[in-house]
Chain A
Amino acid sequence: MNYENREIVLSLKNVRQYFSSGFWKRKIVVKAVHNVSFDVYKGEVFGLVGESGCGKTTTGRSIIKLYNITDGEIFFNGVRISAGIRSNVQRIKDARKAIKMKKAETKALIADIKTDSAAQSDNDIVNRDVEKVQEDLNKFIAEQEEIIQKERQEIREKKKDNKLNKKLMSKMAMIFQDPIDSLNPRMTVREIISEGMIIHGIKDKEYIDQKVKEALRLVGLVEEHATRYPHEFSGGQRQRIGIARALVVNPDLIIADEPISALDVSIQAQVINLLNDLRKQFNLTILFIAHNLSVVKYFCDRIGVMYYGRLVEIAPAEELFANPLHPYTKSLLSAVPLPDPEYEKNRKRLYYVPHLRKFTQDKPKMVEITPGHFVLGSQEEIARYRDELAGKPVPQDPTLIEVVE
């Protein structure tokens, strides 16, 4: 598929989301999302997979501004909606430190010059030397101050961008994982669905009523359901209410955070079918967060695999399943249980053991290995992945352990 000319709806650039707890010595920083960059194109379904705790839900929540990101930038429809200031703060700190060091250095230098010249009586030369050193210092400080001013300006701009842009954010909606917890038990379905519109400033009651009815019909419920309370519905129906709530604001982007994992097996297929229909009908862009790989493969156009806060591989769905490259993706694919006893009895499982990785000087980078297929790896690993794609025999990945039952 050609992604070159397609419109980018959502773009993440080096996004980091850290959570800290405790103070001073007991301070713990959890790096939930660690340098994640990806683009989501208009009309596509982008899947994020990974084990629990790998930061996929946090990524989704950061995008919709439930958290303020620590660093990096998020663009939505071409506008920066959130930006983190950690790197700016870090650069300011570095500059201050450099100034401090330089000052101490200069002081020592001047003292040196003075002791050296104690023997000499020519004060002019000494003064000239000292002046020269002082000048150097002042120049350096001015340079660093300029950097600090620039960073401060950037921080101000970022903070301005971080302010909630209601008009833009109303084009983004979220479907939550748990259909029971995400619906207020004291509100009727009508109130739940219309809440978003009311917050966005729509006051026309008739218009709201009509939209609610329309949304209910779209998700396969009937208009009479509008006056009921969430507890009167089954799990699948509640998730439909959640979907209706997301749809009613005519969003450009829907973030679906594991919308089916809390549902029964027989209901899951219904909800996937519904999402699929709606997606075609409205040309929706969906960021689909899940851990069930067969569902992700079925539903998504492109898939990003996350591992411990990092994206390790991005590829079109077919490509990812046909040519998984990163060892974690391989182990993930080998763990998917299939409803076929004979296959299951002879399956080989691959375990990913990252400790076995050889740490070299060059840090792993995201590299586009074939068009649209990105993988994280050091230069040596990337070379091996290329050989693997070319069909050459390659040594077994050192971080993968094969287990035969």
Chain B
Amino acid sequence: MMQETRQDRIEMPEDVILRVDNLTVSFRTPSGLVRAVRGISFDLKRNETLCIVGESGSGKSVTGRSIMGILAGNAIIDAGHIYYDGQDLLKLKEADFYKIRGSRIGMIFQDPLSSLNPIMKVGKQLTEALILKNKMTKAEAKKRAIELMHEVGIPEPEKRFNQYPFQFSGGMRQRIVIAIALSMEPEILICDEPTTALDVTIQAQILDLINKLKREKNLTVIFITHDLGVVANMADRVAVMYAGKIVEYGKTEEIFYDPKHPYTWALLESMPALKQKGQLRAIPGTPPNMLFPPKGDAFAPRNKYAMKIDFEKEPPFFKVTDTHYAATWLLHPNAPKIESPVKDLVRRVRGEKDEL
């Protein structure tokens, strides 16, 4: 018994606020086990923005939900630990978890309409947690809620307090969701594609707002998205996920200007740059079916640089710099040297600067 508790509590470096260690999550479905996340590990540093990039089905949302402890009922956590504040979140009982969920780690979801209750006034949804958790009186909670609405940039908060979600536009709804997440003053904010359902102009406003709040409240942000443009704007560090695994991680500049993994190359290439004409370099094929996780490197069948070993053995992480790691056999000392096809990407994008 003693031993177990000692194992549960670990000491982390001062600047690491959350550590995910070998997290493996599967989902039980009628057709078999879907391996959504297959052993990912990362450290979240205090006051940074970590972006997790990947296409749908790559396990990025599942990662965020595991940290919040809100996985669907058919999920099985096969292995791994999520350390926060010295304890393993995955071993916590629900009775203890609710002290952390929302109040220490907050989350914003993709669709602002479905994350708000349509038949409850916005004010009530904002004050709900304040009254239940912070034991505020209704009047205090209302005062605080109006402050929060003001902070996230909602005009006329007193009037808006008594309105229903359907009376808000998409961007305003997302602001309400952010205000609710921030009402408990969490340390960590997980944003699961918060701008995917919004337009470019509204998206820009919401991203600005998240950046501003992050600075003001010293938040640590995990930002989950598939839009590399958004990543370039938000991230301090980037983790690229494919088929339930992190394939490359590093500082933003390293990922964008000197990517090493073929999947990152392909992602950067497939976006039409504003100046581009001619054929787009699409990624052939489709993502693997995670009912039958592929052997070796999951990206190999779609990868034109794939070598024989990619189909047989999973690549380990190779170190590029102290902060930059990539899981590809191309970085092995014996691998053939391949010139990165996205070397000129920076130039391609830079050229547009004058235009915009």
Contact between chains at B282 and A343 (CB < 8 Å): no
Does B306 lie at the interface of the complex (its beta carbon under 8 Å from any beta carbon of A)?
Answer: no
Per a CB cutoff under 8 Å, which of B204, B227, B355 touches A335?
B204
* Interface: A136 (CB within 8 A): no
A291 to B56, CA, bound (A): 20
Judging by beta carbons under 8 Å apart, are A338 and B256 in contact?
A: no
Segment with Cβ contacts to A, from B195-203, B318-326, B333-341: B195-203
Residues in chain B within 8 A of chain A (CB atoms): 55-56, 169-170, 199-205, 207-208, 211, 226-233, 235, 252-253, 256-257, 266-268, 270-274, 276-277, 279-284, 286-287, 345-346, 349-350, 352-353, 355-356
Residues of chain B with a CB closer than 8 A to A332's CB: 200-201
Contact B232 A337 (CB under 8 A): yes
| A299→B274 CA distance, assembly (Å) | 10
Give Cα distance in the complex from A237 to B285, angstroms. 10
- Interface members, chain A 35-69 (any B CB < 8 Å): 51-53
Given A266-B283, A321-B274, A337-B227, check contact A291 B233 (CB 8 Å).
Answer: no
Q: Which residues of chain A from 346 to 390 have any CB-CB distance to chain B below 8 Å in the complex?
A: 347, 349, 351-352
**Contact across chains for B203 and A335 when beta carbons are under 8 A apart:** yes
Query: Are the C-beta atoms of B286 and A236 separated by less than 8 Å?
Result: yes
Is the Cβ of A340 less than 8 Å from the Cβ of B287? no
List 30 A–B pairs whose Cβ atoms lie within 8 Å, in order of A's numbering. A51-B199, A51-B200, A237-B286, A264-B56, A265-B228, A266-B55, A266-B270, A266-B287, A267-B282, A267-B283, A269-B280, A269-B283, A272-B282, A273-B280, A273-B282, A293-B200, A294-B271, A295-B272, A298-B272, A332-B201, A334-B204, A335-B204, A336-B274, A338-B273, A339-B256, A339-B345, A340-B232, A340-B256, A342-B253, A343-B349
- Minimum CB–CB distance from B302 to chain A (whole Å) comes to 8
Knowing A264-B55, A266-B283, A322-B355, say if A272 contacts B272 (CB, 8 Å).
yes
Specify the chain B residue showing the minimal Cβ separation from A337: B229
Contact A339 B272 (CB under 8 A): no
Query: CB-CB < 8 A to B266: which residues of A?
Result: 266
Q: Is A123 an interface residue (CB 8 A)?
A: no
A residues 262-309 near B (Cβ < 8 Å) are: 264-270, 272-273, 276, 291-295, 297-299
Q: Are A234 and B201 CB-contacts (below 8 A) given A266-B266, A269-B280?
A: no
Measured CB to CB, the closest approach of chain A to B74, in angstroms, equals 20
CA distance A293 to B204 in the complex (A): 14
| Closest chain B residue to A348, Cβ basis | B356
Q: How far is the CB of B290 from chain A (nearest CB, A)?
A: 13
Which one, B230, B281, B287, B353, contacts A264 given CB within 8 A?
B287
Q: Which 5 pairs between the two chains have the least Cβ-Cβ distance?
A: A337-B229, A269-B282, A51-B199, A298-B272, A269-B270
Assess the A339–B282 pair: CB atoms within 8 A: no
- Which A residues touch B200, using CB under 8 A? 51, 291-293, 332, 335-337
Indicate if the CB atoms of B211 and A405 lie closer than 8 Å.
yes
**CA separation between A333 and B356, bound complex, in Å?**
7
Closest to B198 in A: A52
CB-defined contacts of A299 to chain B, threshold 8 Å: 272
Instruction: Decide if B232 touches A339 in the complex (CB within 8 Å).
Output: yes
- CA A265 to CA B228, docked complex, whole Å: 9
If the complex has contacts A273-B280, A405-B211, are A338 and B201 also in contact, measured as CB distance less than 8 A? Answer: no
Considering residues A268, A291, A341, A351, which has the most beta carbons from chain B within 10 angstroms of its beta carbon? Answer: A341
Q: Which residues of A contact B (CB under 8 A)?
A: 51-53, 234, 236-237, 264-270, 272-273, 276, 291-295, 297-299, 321-322, 331-345, 347, 349, 351-352, 403, 405
Do the beta carbons of A338 and B349 come within 8 Å of each other? yes
How far in angstroms is the closest Cβ of chain B from A28?
Answer: 13
Residues of A within 8 A of B204 (CB): 334-335, 337, 349
Which residue of A is nearest B280, CB measured?
A: A269
Choose among A237, A332, A336, A405 the residue with the greatest number of B CB atoms under 10 Å from its CB: A336
User: Are B232 and A291 in touch, CB under 8 angstroms?
Assistant: no
Of A267, A337, A347, which is within 8 A of B230 by CB? A337
Question: How far is A342 from B257 in the complex, measured between Cα atoms in Å?
Answer: 10
- Our count of residue pairs bridging A and B at CB distance below 8 angstroms stands at 140
Which residue of B207, B226, B233, B352 is within 8 Å of A265 (Cβ)?
B226
Least CB distance from A136 to B in Å reads 54
Are A334 and B279 neighbours in the complex by a CB distance under 8 Å?
Answer: no
Q: How far is the CA of A333 from the CA of B205 in the complex (A)?
A: 14
Which residues of the partner chain A approach B230 to less than 8 Å between Cβ atoms?
A: 337
User: Which of A237, A267, A294, A322 is the one whose CB lies under 8 Å from B273?
Assistant: A294
Instruction: Report the bound CA distance from A343 to B170 in whole Å.
Output: 27
Q: How far apart are A112's CB and chain B's nearest CB, in angstroms? A: 54
Additional A-B contacts beyond A270-B283, A339-B268, A349-B208 (20; CB < 8 A): A51-B201, A52-B170, A264-B287, A265-B226, A266-B55, A266-B267, A266-B282, A269-B281, A272-B272, A294-B274, A298-B272, A332-B200, A333-B356, A337-B232, A338-B274, A338-B349, A339-B229, A339-B349, A342-B253, A343-B353
Chain B residues near A333 (CB, 8 Å)? 356
B277 engages A298 (CB within 8 Å): yes
Q: Report Cα–Cα, A51/B56, bound state, in Å.
A: 24
Nearest CB of chain B from residue A120's CB, rounded to whole Å: 67
B252 / chain A contacts, CB cutoff of 8 Å: 341
Query: Which residue of the partner chain, among A234, A334, A338, contacts B229 with CB atoms under 8 Å?
Result: A338
Distance in Å: Cβ of A307 to nearest Cβ of chain B: 10
Residue of A with least CB distance to B169: A53
Partner of A294, one of B211, B272, B286, B346: B272
Judge whether B201 and A331 touch: CB under 8 Å: yes
CA distance A295 to B170 in the complex (A): 23
Residues of A within 8 A of B346 (CB): 340
Bound form: Cα–Cα A273–B200 in Å: 23
- Chain A residues with Cβ below 8 Å from B55 are 264-267
Decide if A339 touches B231 in the complex (CB within 8 Å).
Answer: yes
Enumerate chain B residues within 8 angstroms of A403, measured Cβ to Cβ: 208
- The winner among B199, B201, B226, B273 for most chain A CB atoms within 10 A is B201
Complex Cα gap A371–B266 (Å) = 39
The distance in angstroms between the C-alpha atoms of A321 and B276, with both chains bound, is 13
Select which of A52, A53, A321, A351 is within 8 A of B355 by beta carbon.
A321
- Give Cα distance in the complex from A332 to B205, angstroms: 12
> Chain B residues near A336 (CB, 8 Å)?
200, 229, 274, 356
Q: Is the pair B208, A405 in contact by a Cβ cutoff of 8 Å?
A: yes
B272 near A52 with CB under 8 A, answer no
Is A339 touching B201 in the complex (CB atoms < 8 A)? no
Residues from chain B with a CB closer than 8 A to the CB of A237 are 286
**Interfacial chain A residues near B267, Cβ < 8 Å:** 265-266
Closest chain-B Cβ to A129's Cβ sits at a distance in Å of: 61
A333–B201 alpha-carbon span in the complex (Å): 9
Q: Which residues of chain A are within 8 angstroms of B170 by Cβ–Cβ distance?
A: 52
